[in-house]
Amino acid sequence: MEKCVLTTAQNNAKDKMAKELNEETAFKISIKTLAGIAALIFTLVGMWFTLQADIAEAKELPKPEISKMEFDMKDVNIRQSIKNTERNVEKLEERMIRMEDKIDQLR
């Protein structure tokens, strides 16, 4: 008896899963879903064409060149920033030493 019930349940499951897609197969899709799919497609196509236009424009632009003068100016600026930072660190070290001396005097 149990075997009979199992085979019937298995046959029902197979019948539900074994449907073929053919010319007579019908899908139920709401108008709202169709509109959403259409909006998504239009958005993706619009983004694609915008991206292609941006790429074409970028190809036509001249390549940016860094002149020797600009490079030298940036190099000098970076070196000055490093020197300023070194001076600030030295000042902080001096202040820290003075503070340590004051703390030692208070002990």
88 in any annotated domain = yes
106 in any annotated domain = yes
How far apart are alpha carbons 105 and 101 in whole angstroms?
6
What are the tokens at 65?
């060149």
* Tens-digit pLDDT profile for residues 74-92: 999 999 999 999 999 999 9
Expressed as residue numbers, the domain containing 101 is: 62-107
Name the range with the highest mean pLDDT among 18-22, 23-27, 56-60.
56-60
Q: Which helix (H) or strand (E) holds 99?
A: helix 68-106
* Tens-digit pLDDT profile for residues 35-73: 999 999 999 999 999 999 999 999 998 887 878 888 899
Domain count, the chain: 1
How far apart are alpha carbons 93 and 102 in whole angstroms?
14
What are the tokens at 95?
């202040």
68 in any annotated domain = yes
Q: Which helix (H) or strand (E) holds 58?
A: helix 31-60
What are the tokens at 13?
């499951």
11 in any annotated domain = no
In sequence order, which residues have a C-beta less than 8 Å from that of residue 19 and are 6 or more positions away? 25
pTM tops 0.75: no
